[in-house]
Structure 1
Amino acid sequence: MQIKKELYFFVFLGLILLALFLRVYHLGQFSLFSDERSSVLLGVANTNQGGMGELMRPDKTFTPADFWAPRGIKSWLDADARGDVSGNSLVHDMMLKLFAWFFGKGDAAMRSVSVMFNMLTIWVMFRWARQFTKSNIWTLAIVLFAAIEPFFVVYSQQARNYATSLFFTTASNYLFWLLVIKREGDLNGNKKYLLLWVIASIGALFSTYLTVLALVGQFAYMALFVRNKSIWLRMITRLGIILVPFIAWFIWGPARYFMGFQANAAEQLITYIKKNGEIPGWLEFATPSNLFKRTISILSDHFFWTNDLYVKHGFKIGTVLLAGFLFLVYQWVKSLDRANRGVYVLGIIQIVLPVVFLFAAAVNAGTTSGFFLRYACFGLPFGIFLSVGLFDYILKQAIWYRIFAFVYLLAQTYQLVELFVPLYTDQHQKYTFSVNRGPNPYPLIASTIQAKYQKGDTVVYPSSKANILDSKYLRNLVIDPLDAQNVNLYLSETDSFIQRLDPYMQDSVLIKKSNGQVIVIFDFKKGKYRY
Structure 2
Amino acid sequence: MSQNRRTSLFILSGIVLLAFVLRIYRSDTYGLFLDEKATILISQGIPIEGANQHDVFDKPNSPYFTPKEFWRPKTLADFNEAVSRSDIGHSPAYYAMLWSWIKVFGLSDLSIRFPSILFSTLTVLLVYFFVKRHIRLAPKTTDRLALISAFIATVEPLFIAHSHIARNYTMTFFLTLLATHVFLIIIEKEKARKASGRLYAGYGALVAISILSHYLSTTVFLSHGLYVLFFVRKWPVWTKLGLTFVVALSCVSLWMLFGGGQSTFGTLKYQAEFYRNLAETNPVNSGFGLILPATVPNVFWRALPIFADLVIFTNGLGTAIVGYRNFAVALLVGLLCIFVIHRYRNQRQTPQWVKFAIPALLLAGMLYYSIHPLQHLVLSAMLPFFYLLSLSLLEDFRPDDRPLLVFLIMLSLIPTLFLLLMAFRSGHTYGITQRYSGFSFPYVCILVALMIRKLFAQRLWFSLPLAAVLFIQAGFIALLLGQIYNDTAPKYTSFALTRSANPFWYSAQKIQELYTPGDTVLYPTLKRKEYTEIDKTGRPYDIIDAQMVNIYLPRDATYYQRIDTTERDKIVLVKGKTGQKITIFDLEGTKYRY
Secondary structure in 1 matching 2:584: strand
Displacement of 1:120 = 1.4
In structure 1, the residue matched to 2:71 is 68
Change (3 A) 1:491 1:512: same
Residue pairs, 1:105-254, within 5 angstroms: 105-131=107-133, 132-133=135-136, 134=139, 135=141, 136-181=143-188, 183=190, 185-187=192-194, 189-254=195-260
Q: Shift in Å at residue 378 of structure 1? A: 1.2
2:488 aligned with 1:427: yes
**Cα gap change, 1:399 to 1:513, in 2 (>3 Å):** closer
Deviations 1:274-330 (A, max 9, x none): 554426975333333331122222222222332222234348539955666555544
Partner of 1:416: 477
Query: Per-residue CA shift, 1:129-154, capped at 9, x if unaligned?
Result: 11124322111101110100111111
CA distance in 1, matches of 2:114, 2:466: 36
Find 2:513's aligned residue among 443, 451, 459.
451
Whether contact under 8 Å (2:30, 2:499) holds in the other structure is yes
Residue 305 (structure 1) aligns with: 313
SS at match of 1:301: helix
Taking a change above 3 Å as real, the CA distance of residues 430 and 78 of structure 1, as seen in their structure-2 partners, is closer
State the match for 2:580 in structure 1: 517
State the secondary structure of the residue aligned to 2:492: coil
1:382 matched residue in structure 2: 443
Q: Secondary structure at the match of 2:50?
A: coil
How far residue 243 of structure 1 moved from its aligned partner, in angstroms, is 0.8
Residues 397 and 184 (structure 1 numbering): CA distance in 2 closer, same or farther, change over 3 Å?
A: farther
Higher relative contact order structure (alpha carbons within 8 Å, sequence separation ≥ 6):
1
Give the number of equivalent residue pairs: 526
Unaligned runs of 5+ in 1: none
Supply the distance in 2 between the matched residues of 1:120 and 1:315 (Cα, whole angstroms): 41
> Is the contact made by 2:23 and 2:164 (CA closer than 8 Å) also made in structure 1?
yes
The answer to whether the 8 A contact 2:280-2:293 is kept is: no
The verdict on how the C-alpha distance between 1:195 and 1:457 changes in structure 2, with shifts beyond 3 A counting, is same
- Secondary structure of the 2:311 match is coil
| Cα pair 1:328 1:390 within 8 Å, conserved | yes
Kept after mapping to 1: 8 A contact 2:310/2:444? yes
Q: Alpha-carbon deviations, 1:96-141, whole Å to 9, x = none?
A: 2223222221111111111111111112111111112432211110
Change (3 A) 1:147 1:281: farther
Which segment drifts farther, 405-414 or 385-394? 405-414
In 1, Cα distance between the equivalents of 2:450 and 2:513?
Answer: 59
- After superposition, the C-alpha distances for 1:183-220 in whole angstroms (9 at most, x for unaligned) are 56344x13333232122212211111111121111011
Cα distance between partner residues in 2 of 1:358 and 1:408: 31
**Residues 82 and 203 of structure 1, relative CA distance in 2, 3 Å threshold:** same
CA distance in structure 2 between the partners assigned to 1:61 and 1:150 by the alignment: 45
Q: Which moved more, 1:16-25 or 1:70-79?
A: 70-79
1:77 and 2:137 aligned: no
Q: TM-score, normalised by structure 2?
A: 0.83
SS in 2 for 1:376: helix
Compared CA separation, residues 99 and 465, structure 1 to 2 (3 A) = farther
For the structure 1 residues 51 and 327, does the alpha-carbon distance in structure 2 shift closer, same or farther, using more than 3 Å as the test? farther
Does 2:545 align with 1:483? yes
What does residue 369 of structure 2 align with? none
SS at match of 2:57: coil
Kept in 1, the 8 Å contact 2:283–2:290? The answer is no
Contact 1:181 1:343 in 2 (8 A): no
Equivalent pair of 2:223/2:410 in contact (CA under 8 Å) = yes
Are the aligned partners of 2:18 and 2:154 in contact in 1 as well (CA < 8 Å)? Answer: yes
Q: Is residue 113–residue 164 contact of structure 2 (8 Å, CA) maintained in 1?
A: yes
5+ residue gaps, structure 2, are 332-378
SS of residue matched to 2:516: coil
Q: 1:507 to 1:111 in 2, by over 3 A?
A: same
Which range moves more in the overlay, 443-452 or 313-322? 313-322
Opposite residue 46 of structure 1, the aligned amino acid is: G
Q: Could you tell which deviates more after superposition, 189-198 or 445-454? A: 189-198
User: Any conservation in 2 of the 1:511–1:520 contact (CA below 8 Å)?
Assistant: yes
With over 3 angstroms needed to count, the CA separation of the structure-2 counterparts of 1:506 and 1:281, relative to structure 1, is closer
Deviation at 1:347, TM superposition (A): 1.7
Q: Pick the aligned partner of 1:350 from 407, 411, 430.
A: 411
Distance 1:386 1:182 in 2: 24
1:402 maps to 463
Identity value in percent: 27
Q: Measure, in 1, the Cα distance between the counterparts of 2:228 and 2:417.
A: 19
User: TM (normalized to structure 1)?
Assistant: 0.92
- What whole-Å deviation, never above 9, does each CA across 1:387-438 have from its counterpart, x for those lacking one? 1123333444444332234323323323222211111112235423343211
CA distance in 1, matches of 2:569, 2:76: 34
Give the C-alpha shift of residue 463 in structure 1.
1.9
SS in 1 for 2:431: coil
Counterpart contact for 1:344–1:385, Cα < 8 Å: no
Task: Pick closer, same or farther for the CA change 1:460–1:102 going to 2, 3 Å.
Answer: same
Q: Which amino acid aligns with 2:79?
A: W
- Rg bigger for which structure? 2
Contact 2:388 2:455 in 1 (8 A): no
Residue type of the alignment partner of 1:424: Y
Structure 2 residue matching 1:511: 3-state secondary structure? strand
Is the alpha carbon distance of 1:420 and 1:108 closer, same or farther for their aligned partners in structure 2, counting shifts above 3 Å? same
Matches of 1:265 and 1:455 in 2, distance apart?
A: 46
> Secondary structure in 2 aligned to 1:194?
helix
Quote the Cα distance in structure 2 between the aligned partners of 1:198 and 1:96: 22
Query: Could you tell me how far apart the structure 2 residues matched to 1:359 and 1:438 are?
Result: 35
In the TM superposition, residue 21 of structure 1 has moved relative to its aligned partner by: 1.1
